[in-house]
Amino acid sequence: MRAVGKYGPKDTPEGMRMEICERKEKGSVVIAITGKLDSFAVPELEKVVEENVSKGEKFLVFNLSGLTHISSAGLRSFLVPAKKLKTLGGSVTFVALTENISRILKTAGLYNSIFKVYDSEKDAIEANA
């Protein structure tokens, strides 16, 4: 995986910040987000997503196994590209959600309705291939 960046104020502890890594496999871009996707960090994720979409990537797979916090702005940063990619025949899918992140997605009516959720990257990538 290629480290894309670490985001967040430098005076907050490492675990309170967000880190993004990505790799490409069989037509999918796997983006792993660890740490906190708080309202301040969201624009950084949006940039990474926009870069991939503008390069013509259609299948984004987010591995959220290390995500410890999410905000509604974070949810929007998945929903906006999901809408766009659907019109292009692509999708946004999730892998390895923690119980708390799953709970938030369910509360927001996004779990397995708007975003398909897979247990492993392999399953998600094969579904897209």
In 8-59, alpha helices (H):
42-54
Q: Please state, in angstroms and rounded to a whole number, the distance separating the CA atoms of residues 57 and 68.
A: 26
**Part in contact with other proteins (CB under 8 A); list of ranges 8-16, 46-54, 55-63, 119-127:** 8-16
User: CB-based contacts of 19: which residues, under 8 Å, 6+ apart?
Assistant: 3, 5, 6, 7, 33, 34, 35
Among 24, 26, 83, 122, binds other proteins (CB under 8 A): 83
Closest by CA position to 100, among listed 37, 8, 49, 16: 37
With binding defined as CB under 8 A, does residue 112 bind other proteins? Answer: no
Among 25, 47, 73, 123, binds other proteins (CB under 8 A): 73
With binding defined as CB under 8 A, does residue 127 bind other proteins? Answer: no
Closest by CA position to 36, among listed 16, 9, 12: 16
With binding defined as CB under 8 A, does residue 104 bind other proteins? Answer: yes
Among 38, 46, 50, 123, binds other proteins (CB under 8 A): 38
With binding defined as CB under 8 A, does residue 65 bind other proteins? Answer: no
Compute CA 75 distance to the chain's CA centroid, rounded to the nearest angstrom: 9
Residues making contact with other proteins (CB under 8 A) = 8-9, 11-13, 16-17, 36, 38-41, 68-73, 75-76, 79-80, 82-83, 86, 100, 104, 107-110, 113-114
